[in-house]
Amino acid sequence: MKIVIIGAGEVGYHIAKALYQTNDVVVIDQNEEACERADELDVHVLHGNGANVSILQNVLEGAGLLVAVTGSDEVNIVACMASKLIVKDNDKLKTVARVSNPDYIDKPVAKRSQIGIDIMVCPELSLASEVARILAIPSAIDADYFAGGKVEMMEFVVPDDHFLVDKPMQELHLANCCIVSALFRDSEVIIPHGKDIIKGNDHIVVIGKPAAMKEVRDMFGEKVGKRSKVMIIGGGIVGFYLAKLVAKSEFDLKIIESDKERSAAIAEELPDVLVLNGDGTDINLLKEEGVSEMDVVISVTNSDEKNLLCSLLAKQLGVKKVIARSDRSDYVSLFEMVGVDSAVSPRQATVNEVLKLTFGQGIESITTIEGEKAEIVEYTTSKKSKIVGKPLKSVKFPAGAIVSMVVHKGNTVVPRGEYVIEEGDRVVVFSLQSANAEVEKLFK
């Protein structure tokens, strides 16, 4: 497929990086440094304004997808609208726009086909929704749902003093409708077997039926009925939307925001939330506000460096779990290396939506975990899918992937070797990035 990407910043570069090996990719950006970075990939790079009609006319011939992800909402919207007008058969061209202004979008992903935008993505709202899911499960550092909520994914950290440390995987004794899909140990990714030994600080990814996941949550120390104390540092788009999502849940919530006017506006909008005007790096303020008693501190300012500092201060003062926003992808692993429990990136939602479009029919959802080390992909099978109609043990599945769950006619099962996948089944696959292309072929 020919794909035009407008904007070569963090989001645009990572979309290009994910797609250039199997697609014809054109990247347009006004920034020379961004163009030079994109030029390191095997893509065609143009220096210019991606909303310029003459530039678009030259690059859109034969294109199947246009992705506008510059830092300007208006440029992204205009580029998508203009592209639909330029292309004669505009049904053949899909458009995706990254938009941050709440005046244009009120949910993480929306369709605006009436104005020429097939998919509008708000990375900030997507990030807030992701953090809200994590907060809903206090014992987990990541969580997501698949197959319309019938399958749940959770990622847990094994503390050094946990009873499972130095025990084989088979001693987890999970319910029949749960499976451990992966172990992350330092920089290593392990698709585990029963005899693999669990180590302290391992990250365990469990996928299963929601009703059965309660036992797993209990295993990792979750206390039922306890109100969690949560502090959000940063009252921008992410912090405010996150507060709105969780304000009516079982949380005692505080927000620290440095801008006085913004603090007043949030306090007016969210009367049940304590809003403090101050600096999240002020150690005296943190102590006065009882940060050591917090169950979770989330730092989501617009500065990666400030988020890291706030998180490390909170951790030093005794906070159990800290979550930090990281706009730069190369910071995610660094954050977690130095003690942040979960580093979350707003760009991944946009990348995932684009990947769903390029993978074609059958892809329902994509979740990237552990800083892009692996993906969990939900497929819906068709008659043509090579995986249909034969026992799984007969399918040549790549070594870096595993079928974790299948939803068949509304029933959720962990498939074994004899299981036969049928047309219309929703299949949840855990896959290393190196195995993605081979897995995709099985569902085409």
Tokens 């979309």 label which residue?
15
Q: pLDDT tens, 181-198?
A: 888 888 788 888 888 899
Two structure tokens written together for 390: 């034969």
- Could you tell me what percent of the chain has a pLDDT over 70? 98
240 C-beta neighbours (distance < 10 Å), count: 24
Segment 139-188, tens digit of pLDDT: 888 888 888 888 989 888 888 888 889 999 888 888 778 888 888 888 78
pLDDT at 371 over 70: no
Given this model, what pLDDT does residue 361 score?
Answer: 56
Report the pLDDT value the prediction gives residue 334, as an integer from 0 to 100.
86
Contacts of 148-151 with C-beta under 8 Å, sequence gap 24+, read: 149/210, 150/209, 150/210, 150/407, 150/410, 150/412, 150/426, 151/207, 151/208, 151/209, 151/210, 151/378, 151/404, 151/405, 151/407, 151/412, 151/426, 151/428
Q: How far apart are CA 229 and CA 357, in angstroms?
A: 39
Kindly report, residue by residue over 28-86, the tens digit of the pLDDT. 999 999 999 999 998 999 999 999 999 999 999 889 899 999 999 999 999 999 999 99
CA distances from 76 to 99, 172, 218 (A): 7, 48, 45
**Has residue 268 got a pLDDT over 60?**
yes
- pLDDT at position 110: 87
Q: Which pLDDT score, from 0 to 100, does residue 288 have?
A: 92
pLDDT value at residue 225: 60
Tokens 């800083």, residue? 371
pLDDT of residue 92: 84
For residue 197, give the DSSP letter: B
Q: Which two tokens stand for residue 273?
A: 């939330």
Residue written as tokens 């779990």? 321
Phi/psi for 117 (5° steps) reads -120, 110
324 Cβ contact list (under 8 Å, min separation 6): 298, 299, 300, 307, 308, 310, 311, 335, 340, 342, 343, 344
The mean pLDDT of 289-297, rounded to a whole number, is 92
Confidence of residue 360 (pLDDT cuts 50, 70, 90): low
Angstrom distance (rounded) from CA 55 to CA 47: 10
Residue 216 has pLDDT above 80, yes or no: yes
The rounded distance, in Å, linking the Cα atoms of 436 and 401 is 8
Give the tens place of pLDDT for each residue, 412-442: 888 888 999 998 899 999 888 778 878 888 8
What pLDDT does residue 301 have? 95
Closest C-alpha to 29, from 75, 93, 61: 75
Q: Are 232 and 280 in contact (CB under 8 A)?
A: no
> Percentage of the chain surpassing pLDDT 90?
39
